Amino acid sequence: MTTILVVDDEAPILRALSITLTARDYTVVTAGNGADGLAAMARDHPAVVILDLGLPDMDGVDVIHAIRGWSAVPIIVLSAREQEQQKVAALDAGADDYVTKPFGMHELLARLRAAVRRSAPGEQEPVLRTASFVVDLAAKQVTTLDDQRVRLTPTEWQIVETLAKSADRLVTAKHLLHEVWGPSYGTETNYLRVYMAQLRRKLEPDPSHPVSLLTEPGMGYRLITQSGKD
C-alpha cells in the first residue's frame, strides 16, 4: 500500500485531498503544521510527501531541509504564492515538484503518480507462487522453486495461464477447452487429461499425488497458490 503524507494548515484542502487520495487507494496521513509533519514523517514512512509552504509554525523551505537531512522521499510542494523566487528556493532546498494553488486535482494526481513511479523503479510483476512452482504471467514463464526454467509447449502454457488467471478458483473443463482450443470445443475432456498429466510430470514433485494442480472430479481443475507463508 502506498502511503502519502499531506502537510497543510487549511482544513478544507486537507479534507479534499484526503478523500480524493483515499478513493484512489492511497493510504493518507495528514498533519496541520511543520512539527507534526516531521513527526509523521518519522513515524510512518510515506512514499510521497505533499507539502504546503504556508505553514503556521515554520517556514516550508526549512521543513524541506529537515526532511532532506535524512530522507530522499519525493516531495511535492503546494503553494498559493506564485512568485518565482519562492519556487526556486523550494526546488533548490530539495523539493521534487511545485504546484501552484489553485490546482487541478487531475494534474496533482498525475504529478503524484510520476513521483511514485520514480521512487519505485523496481516494478513488481504479477507472479503466482504455488507449493511446487512459480508462474510469471508477464514473462510467460514457469520456474521451479529453485529458479529452474521449465519448458512448456504453447498448449501447456495456455492451460497454466488460464488456471492462473483464476487462481484458487475452480475452472470448469468446458471453460478450459473454450479458452485453449476455441469456442467449438467443450466436450473433449480427454485432451485435458493428457495435458494435465504432462503438466504434473513437469511441475509436480510427485506427479501421481499433485498438490498444486488439483482435479475436481466431475467439475474441472484448480490451481492452488501459496499465500506468502510456508
Residues in touch with its own copies (CB under 8 A): 72, 84-85, 87-88, 91-92, 94-98, 104, 106-107, 109-111, 113-114, 117-118, 121-122, 138-141, 147, 151, 153-154, 157, 168-170, 216-219, 222, 229
Q: Phi/psi of residue 122, each to 5°?
A: -75, 85
Which of its own copies, DNA, none does 207 bind, CB closer than 5 to 8 A by kind?
A: DNA
Which of DNA, its own copies, none does 193 bind, CB closer than 5 to 8 A by kind?
A: DNA
Nearer CB in complex with its own copies: 56/125 = 125
Which of DNA, its own copies, none does 196 bind, CB closer than 5 to 8 A by kind?
A: DNA
Nearer CB in complex with its own copies: 31/195 = 195
Which of DNA, its own copies, none does 22 bind, CB closer than 5 to 8 A by kind?
A: none
As a whole number of angstroms, the distance between CA 97 and CA 79 comes to 11
Out of 6, 52, 108, 200, the residue judged to bind DNA by CB under 7 A: 200
Cβ neighbors of 176 (< 8 A, separation 6 or more) are 159, 162, 163, 192, 220, 221
Q: Are 111 and 119 contacting, i.e. CB atoms less than 8 angstroms apart?
A: no
Nearer CB in complex with DNA: 94/207 = 207
CB of 185 to DNA, least distance (A): 8
Work out the angle between the directed axes of helices 84-93 and 60-68 (0-180°, nearest 10). Answer: 20
Nearer CB in complex with its own copies: 40/93 = 93
Q: How far is CA 178 from CA 181, 185, 204, in A?
A: 6, 6, 25
Positive or negative: CA dihedral 9, 12, 16, 22: positive
**75 grid coordinates:** 516531495
**203 grid coordinates:** 511441475
Residue ranges binding DNA (CB under 7 A):
151, 153-156, 173, 181, 188-197, 200-201, 207-208, 215, 217-220
